[in-house]
Amino acid sequence: MTETSPPPTQKPFPKEARQLRLPAPSKTLQRRARSFLALFFIIAALWTLRNMLPALLWGCIFAIALWPLYKRATKRFGTSIWLPLSFTAVLALVFLVPVSFISLKIADEVSGALLWVDQIRHQGIPTPNWVDRLPIASAQVKAFWAQHLNNPDTLNELVHSLRMGRGVAFGKQFGSEILHRGILFVFSLLTLFFLLKDSESIIRKCLIGSQRLFGAQGETLARQIISSIHGTVSGLVLVGLGEGAIIGVCYIIAGAPQPLIFGLATAIAAMVPLLGWIAVTGVCFLIAFKGSMLAAVIVWLIGAIVLFIADHFIRPILIGGSTKVPFLWVLLGILGGAETWHLMGLFLGPAIMAGLHMLWSLWTSNKGPGLRVVRYHRRR
């Protein structure tokens, strides 16, 4: 048998190779790596929560709007778990009670609407009395009504031309949208509860973070945005509810159909500038359609006066006065925010414009360090 040769002995590594010394890490490289890592996690979190961001933003808006009242309540009743729970429950009732009332009213009206549709299919829509009292074109309107709306055959053709499949698809889409909005509302209430519950800790950490990132001006900018939201709540929501209450009383006196529902709809529409005029005009057309032309004109005039005073005198003071922002900036923020962010834009738009106006004021101020005072002399 052949003897196996022993394995070759490995020579030990030299001492210099065993004592491997890494160069000192670059602080700039570490700072950039931490920044990229933080940016990655922020983008990943926003992408993960992209469908829940509206609920989180609504929760923040509710918390900012309720914070002065909540702070007063904590001074009187102390801090406990029941206080944020009570605020959250009251806010939920503020939204759920009107929605439930409107839903029940709509459910009651559906059966009557179906009976009305069946009736006009067999008898047509009778010509209202106010057509004869029109100052101009009364005969033409009456002839058009008799030809198209008073004729059951024409109405049956119109009803049969509507596709029922589209109605079913619309009903499913509407139901899924209502479910989605309901889930977002629940999560916004949860966000509100935890923001109020841990408010002191959240405020302290936000102040520390803004101080580290933006310096002393970060807190000033945050206060400007918060004041803008408070002014928007007072100038849009509260004023809109007041307008809806006053005009709703006029609806009741004038005999408008479903005055409570239309009064609430007018209040919601009046929160957006210029949209309240459309709501009031539509309800006045319904009052005139019932046969009371004079009442419709009176209601429209009263509504026009209320909307004009609120839009041109009360809202500029409440919204622009709290933040010292020109009302034109606020109006652009409301309209642009409503177009971009829908209902949430009524609050985000003015807040963004308030922050932009403050940055513009800081950039164009001649009182900063190292800036000489600029004086303009009028040439003679």
Confidence bin at 3 (pLDDT 50/70/90): low
| 21 within some domain | no
Domain-terminating residue out of 152, 167, 197: 197
Q: Which residues contact 132 (CB under 8 A, 6 or more apart)?
A: 138, 142
pLDDT for the residue 169: 67
Q: Which residues contact 98 (CB under 8 A, 6 or more apart)?
A: 264
Give yes or no for a contact between 148 and 154, defined as CB atoms under 8 angstroms apart. Answer: yes
Confidence bin at 260 (pLDDT 50/70/90): confident
| 46 within some domain | no
Number of domains in the chain: 2
**50 CA to centre of own chain:** 17
More confident residue, 118 or 81: 81
pLDDT for the residue 274: 82
Q: How many whole angstroms separate alpha carbon 28 and alpha carbon 15?
A: 32
Q: Does residue 84 have a pLDDT over 80? A: yes
Structure tokens at 131: 């057509």
Rounded mean pLDDT, 257-275? 87
Query: What range does the domain containing 301 cover?
Result: 216-362
Q: Which of 13-17, 203-207, 294-298 has the lowest mean pLDDT?
A: 13-17
138 and 248 co-located in one domain: no
135 and 268 co-located in one domain: no
319 and 240 co-located in one domain: yes
Confidence bin at 21 (pLDDT 50/70/90): low
Q: How many whole angstroms separate alpha carbon 204 and alpha carbon 202?
A: 5
The overall average pLDDT reported for the chain is: 81
pLDDT tens readout for residues 166-212: 655 666 777 788 888 899 999 999 999 999 999 989 989 988 888 88
Confidence bin at 305 (pLDDT 50/70/90): very high
| 355 within some domain | yes
Q: Does residue 350 have a pLDDT over 60? A: yes
233 and 332 co-located in one domain: yes
Structure tokens at 36: 């990229």
Domain-terminating residue out of 169, 197, 225: 197
Q: Does residue 8 have a pLDDT over 80? A: no
193 and 224 co-located in one domain: no
269 and 341 co-located in one domain: yes
Structure tokens at 110: 């559906």
pLDDT for the residue 40: 93
Confidence bin at 248 (pLDDT 50/70/90): very high
Buried b (16+ CB within 10 A) or exposed e, 123-141: ebeeeeebbeeeeeeeeee
Query: In whole angstroms, how far apart are CA 189 and each of 96, 121, 195?
Result: 12, 46, 10
Q: How many whole angstroms separate alpha carbon 62 and alpha carbon 195?
A: 10
Rounded mean pLDDT, 232-245? 88
pLDDT for the residue 10: 53
Confidence bin at 367 (pLDDT 50/70/90): low
| 134 within some domain | yes
pLDDT for the residue 374: 47
**189 CA to centre of own chain:** 15
| 296 within some domain | yes
334 and 269 co-located in one domain: yes
| 367 within some domain | no
Q: How many whole angstroms separate alpha carbon 356 and alpha carbon 369?
A: 21
pLDDT tens readout for residues 87-114: 999 999 999 998 888 888 777 777 776 7
Please classify residue 86 by burial: count the beta carbons closer than 10 Å to its beta carbon, then call 0-12 exposed, 13-18 middle and 19+ buried. middle
Confidence bin at 233 (pLDDT 50/70/90): confident
Domain-terminating residue out of 144, 167, 197: 197
What is the rounded end-to-end Cα distance, in angstroms, of the chain?
122
| 250 within some domain | yes
Give yes or no for a contact between 336 and 346, defined as CB atoms under 8 angstroms apart. Answer: no
Give yes or no for a contact between 64 and 229, defined as CB atoms under 8 angstroms apart. Answer: yes
227 and 160 co-located in one domain: no
Confidence bin at 378 (pLDDT 50/70/90): very low
3-state SS class at 12: coil
Rounded mean pLDDT, 129-140? 73
pLDDT for the residue 366: 63
Q: Does residue 1 have a pLDDT over 50? A: no
Confidence bin at 324 (pLDDT 50/70/90): confident
Q: How many whole angstroms separate alpha carbon 308 and alpha carbon 280?
A: 12
254 and 336 co-located in one domain: yes
pLDDT for the residue 142: 77
275 and 175 co-located in one domain: no
Give yes or no for a contact between 254 and 298, defined as CB atoms under 8 angstroms apart. Answer: yes
CA torsion sign for 226, 231, 232, 237 is: positive
240 and 344 co-located in one domain: yes
**pTM across the whole model:** 0.72
pLDDT for the residue 162: 58
179 and 272 co-located in one domain: no
The maximal CA–CA distance of the chain, rounded, in angstroms, is 130
**181 CA to centre of own chain:** 13
Q: Which residue has the tokens 């900036």?
A: 329
| 75 within some domain | yes
